[in-house]
A and B are shown apart, each in its own frame.
Chain A
Amino acid sequence: AQSVTQLGSHVSVSEGALVLLRCNYSSSVPPYLFWYVQYPNQGLQLLLKYTTGATLVKGINGFEAEFKKSETSFHLTKPSAHMSDAAEYFCAVSEYTGGFKTIFGAGTRLFVKA
């Protein structure tokens, strides 16, 4: 059965510092992996996705994530945090086993300090 674990419900970084949000998954078949961002009082927006091919995926707003099959991880990074990055981030895994199923992690709230 598929599952998603996001390590840390809250992460705080200083403006200009590296952002690292961790996501580990389990899946019985090659997964599709996603990161979404949610700003206050809004719906989720896609940041980036991994389907097949290159394991380093670049997304919007300078974010990127690397699919590491051996570690079953899909961590999200950004070299330099900006105040506007403060939001909640969700990792999601989708697998197709006759029917589709997408599971979302519990979310990580990112705080950016001036």
Chain B
Amino acid sequence: NAGVTQTPKFRVLKTGQSMTLLCAQDMNHEYMYWYRQDPGMGLRLIHYSVGEGTTAKGEVPDGYNVSRLKKQNFLLGLESAAPSQTSVYFCASSTTGPQAQYFGPGTRLTVL
């Protein structure tokens, strides 16, 4: 039982490049989330999903897109990376919205 895994762990991009972050969970959770963590700002919700095939915007969705084609996977895309997107990205999952979330180990992204 791996829990929540994230790929890749580290990435460096140049401004304007695109990339996709992959999150996978093996706990059969309905809800999945993408957050970004910046110093002194806690975690901010980018997008979330309440089930396969559904997605919704969070607090800071601009510049990001997501897809949930399979229940166990939640992809976060950056179409045209900007230096302001330099951050640590965490994926999480939960059984339902108000319940405890299980977090992945994070992806450290640097945009030059």
| A residues lining the B interface (CB < 8 Å) | 4, 9, 32, 34, 36, 41-46, 49, 51, 90, 94-96, 99-102, 104-107
* B-side interface size class: 20 to 34
Report whether B105 and A42 are in contact in the complex, using a CB–CB cutoff of 8 Å: yes
Number of contacts between A and B (CB, 8 Å)? 56
Question: Closest 7 A-B residue pairs measured CB to CB?
Answer: A100-B97, A43-B103, A106-B42, A104-B43, A104-B42, A94-B98, A32-B98
A49 vs B105: C-alpha distance when bound (angstroms): 21
Among B4, B98, B104, B106, the one with the most A-chain Cβ atoms within 10 Å of its Cβ is B98
A106 vs B43: C-alpha distance when bound (angstroms): 7
Query: Is residue B90 within 8 Å, beta carbon to beta carbon, of the partner chain?
Result: yes
* B4 partner residues in chain A, CB cutoff 8 A: 43
A46 vs B75: C-alpha distance when bound (angstroms): 23
Query: Is residue B73 within 8 Å, beta carbon to beta carbon, of the partner chain?
Result: no
* B31 partner residues in chain A, CB cutoff 8 A: 100
